[in-house]
Every structure is written in structure tokens, then in C-alpha cells.
Amino acid sequence: MKLELVDRTIGWIAQSKAGNADWPRLIDLIGKYPVAMIDYPFPIIPAQGSHIKARMEIPPSLLASDPEALKRISMSGCCHAAISMRFGSASLDEAKKAALAAHRHLKSVSLKLPDASKMDAQALDECIAAAWDAGISSIIFCDGQSVLSPQETFGLIRELVQRSCCAIEFCPGNKYGLAAANAFAALKAGVRRVHTCAGGLAPSGAAMEEVLFSAKRFLGDKTDTKSIAQDCGMLLRAAQRDVPSNKAIIGEDIFAHESGIHVDGVMKNPALYEAIEPSEVGLSRRLVVGKHSGRKAIRGKLLDFGVDASDEAAEIIMHQVKRLAEKQKRALADSQLLSLYAEYAYGVAEKAEVLASGAG
């Protein structure tokens, strides 16, 4: 299976931000992943400097009101269009006419069905037939209202892939957190192209890093993900968003371990409590000392600093660690742990300093 992504990150950043991002850099970042196409919502002009195909979504009615629009789009460097047909808002004839007109100026035309997941089989068949007549290269099947489960996605898409004469793309909705699972289901059902955005940022499309990782883990995809956390971080920052610290695949805390059982396990073999090797996504493991720490974790952490504490010492310090973590309502900084040890071993009572370093 050769996976191809249609990117919605760049288009979303372009839409939400007036103009001045470092587009070539952002596009280079996205270009590290198997992105075949970047989609832009109308009337956002595609970012300059793209070596990845740009596609613009246009409503069929645009061509009636502005016959020159296609020419301008093609001159802006965008050679591909998706005629967006919100069911009921435009007739299939209109979409066909728009597609035929678009062919005169553009290299390829897709048919986008924003509410495809709510259409019945007959309506979908009519769209497939119209797509054939109008030389449409792909049908974009969207779950605009997020009504599909992975099982339903798999069933619907598999049937559609078999019936359709043109390629099917799948664009999941993400209202209820199922977009990545639905994109995975579509890939499993035989679709090659799914719509994604870094970090699950845009309103439609699945989190790129999650789709890539599932495809890699379960479908044999070979994409290099060794810098995906940093790359997605930069893309999100361009959209003025932070990566949530526990975001699957790319959050900075997803390899942080604190609880006694987990730290003990990770010290024996990290795979006991990690499904992913941190370097595989460009992150690193971190052992945190806090309320849930056990004796072994305290000993292990102190050993990292060259301090070989006895079991008895670790036990006493563990209780102090718990108390301090409760008091400050967060984990301890390394310096706090070392101060507790110094206090235990040398009787240097530097409580004030301990608490001050915790506030910093």
C-alpha cells in the first residue's frame, strides 16, 4: 500500500492567519511526509514556493458569477481544483458543468462531497456516474458531521472503492475524536489518499502523526517519523497553537514516567510501559519524581546524579518527596530531590531553598 496524504494544515494556517508565515519552510516541513497535495479553501491563494501540488476548493456557483475565476486560480500556481458539492445546495448538473469548465484551465478536477457520509447509496451512485461523465479524477468522501464509526467507515468506503471508476479520497470529521481511527479504517478499506492535518489542528481531517503511525504500525507504511514531534510542533506554532503535553505521538510528556510501578518497569525494560520507542517520533524518555514515585525510582534518579542512596535513605526521601509534591501540587525539580538528599545525608536543612527552587 502506498499511502498519500492530502494536507489541510497549510491551508488552515493560511486561512486563519493573514499572509506572512514562512511558507516555503512550512511546506518543506509538510513535504517530509508523504503529502501528495495541499488543499486550500476558497479564496485563499496558495502559499508561494510550494513544490507540492496545490488544490483549491471551489463552489460550483463561482463559475457562473465569476467566469474568469478559474483563469486567475491557475495563474496563481494552483493547477488543481475540487468542486465542492454540498448535497442539496447545488445540482449535479451544475457541478458537472463546473468540472468541464475547470478542465480547460486546470490539470485535474476532483469532486468534493462534504456530507458524503449522510448520502444514500443511490445519491452516491449518481455522483460516481457524473464524475465519470465529467472526467473527474477523484471523489473526496467527507464525513463533515462526524457521524461515522471506524466500522461504518470501513464498510462504506470498501463498497465505494469497488463501485467507483475514479479514485476515492477520505476526509474524516473530528468532532468526537474518531478521525484518526476513521482514516485508518479508510486506508484499510483500500483508499490511498486520506486528509490529515498536523496535531489534529484543522476542523476536518485526522491528526497526521496518528494516521502515519497507525499506517506504519498496522499497514506496513515505511514513512520516517523520527522528527515528527518537532515538525508538528513547528507547524502548530505557525498556527499559534501549542502541542498539548499529552498529545498522542507528539506530546512532550508522553514518555514521562512517575508512578512507582511504571518507573520500576521502565528501568527494567522500557517496552514494558511504552508502545513506541521515543526516538521513533523524535522525543525522549523522562523519569519524573513526584507524589507517585516509589523507592526504586528515587534510587534510580539519584544514581543518575552519581548518588548511591541506600534502601533506607530512599524510603525516607520517598516520603518527603510525596509530601513536597502534595504541597506544591506538582512533581519535583531535580534540584529539589538533591536538596532532600543533602538534608538527609548531611543534615543541611535548607528548607527555604528547597521551596524556592520549586517555585522557579
Partner 1 sequence: MELVDTTLRDGEQTAGIVFSADEKLDMVRALNAIGIGWIEAGIPAMGPDEREVLKEMLRVNKTSAMIAWNRADKGDIANSISCGFQFIHVSLPASDFHIEHKLRKSREWVLARLREVLAQAKGEGASLIVGAEDASRADPEFFLRFADAAASCGAIRIRYADTVGCMEPFTAAEIFSDLAKRSPLPIEFHGHNDLGLAVANTLAACQNGIPYASVTSIGIGERAGNASLEDFAGVMRFVCRSPLKLRMEHLPKLASIVRGAARRKQCPQPIYTGFHRKLPFLELDPGLNG
Site for partner 1 in 120-149 (CB under 8 A): 146-149
Pick the binder of partner 1 from 53, 119, 322, 342 (CB under 8 A): 322
Please state, as a whole number, how many other Cβ atoms lie within 10 Å of the Cβ of residue 33. Answer: 21
- Distances from the Cα of 254 to the Cα of 18, 171, 248, 359, angstroms: 33, 27, 7, 24
Q: Does 17 bind partner 1 (CB under 8 A)?
A: no
Among 31, 161, 175, 357, binds partner 1 (CB under 8 A): 175
- Site for partner 1 contains 237 (CB under 8 A): no
127 versus 208: smaller Cβ distance to partner 1: 208
Q: Tell me which residues in 238-267 interact with partner 1 (CB under 8 A).
A: 241-242, 244-249, 251, 253-259, 261-262, 264-265
Q: Of 131 and 178, which CB lies nearer to partner 1 in the complex structure?
A: 178
Instruction: Rule CB under 8 A: say whether 350 interacts with partner 1.
Output: no
Residue among 226, 305, 229, 291 nearest 263 (CA) = 291
Distance, CA of 244 to CA of 96 (rounded, Å): 43
* Residue 331 in the binding site for partner 1 (CB under 8 A): yes
Nearer to partner 1, 67 or 177 (CB): 177
Restricted to residues 70-89, the positions that interact with partner 1 (CB under 8 A) are none
Residue 295 binds partner 1, judged by CB under 8 A: no
Q: Which residues is 109 bridged to in the sheet?
A: 81
**Residue 233 near partner 1 by CB under 8 A:** no
Kindly indicate which of the ranges 86-94, 163-171, 305-313, 319-327 contains the residues binding partner 1, using the contact rule CB under 8 A.
319-327
Is residue 51 classed exposed, middle or buried when 0-12, 13-18 and 19+ CB atoms within 10 A define those classes? exposed
SS3 call for 265: helix
Query: Interface with partner 1 by CB under 8 A: which range of 43-51, 71-79, 270-278, 335-343?
Result: 270-278
Number of residues that bind partner 1 (CB under 8 A): 71
H or E stretch including 207? strand 206-207
Give the nearer residue to partner 1 in terms of CB position, either 18 or 75: 18
d(CA 79, CA 56): 8
Residue 61 CB, nearest approach to partner 1 (Å): 25
Q: 321: which residues sit within 8 A by CB, 6+ positions away?
A: 289, 290, 291, 293, 298, 332, 337, 340
Q: How far is the CB of 360 from partner 1 (least distance, A)?
A: 16
C-alpha cell at 253: 510528556
DSSP state of 333: P
CB count in 10 Å sphere of residue 284: 10
Closest to partner 1 by CB, 86 or 241: 241
Q: Which amino acid is at 306?
A: G
Contact with partner 1 (CB under 8 A) among 19, 120, 122, 176: 176
Confirm or reject binding of residue 107 to partner 1 (CB under 8 A): no
Binding string, residues 184-203; x marks residues near partner 1 by CB under 8 A: xx--x----------xxxxx
Residue of 283, 262, 281, 257 lying closest to 272 (CA atoms): 262
- Binding to partner 1 by residue 95, rule CB under 8 A? no
Choose one: 30-38, 88-96, 134-142, 206-214; the region binding partner 1 (CB under 8 A): 206-214
Largest Cα–Cα separation, the chain: 86
223 forms part of the interface with partner 1 (CB under 8 A): no
What phi-psi label fits residue 347: left (phi over 0), alpha (psi between -120 and 50 degrees) or beta? left
Residue 295 CA to residue 301 CA, distance in Å, equals 10
CB 243 within 8 A of CB 266: no
Q: Is 215 in the site for partner 1 (CB under 8 A)?
A: no
Exactly one of 269, 306, 308, 352 binds partner 1 (CB under 8 A); that residue is 269
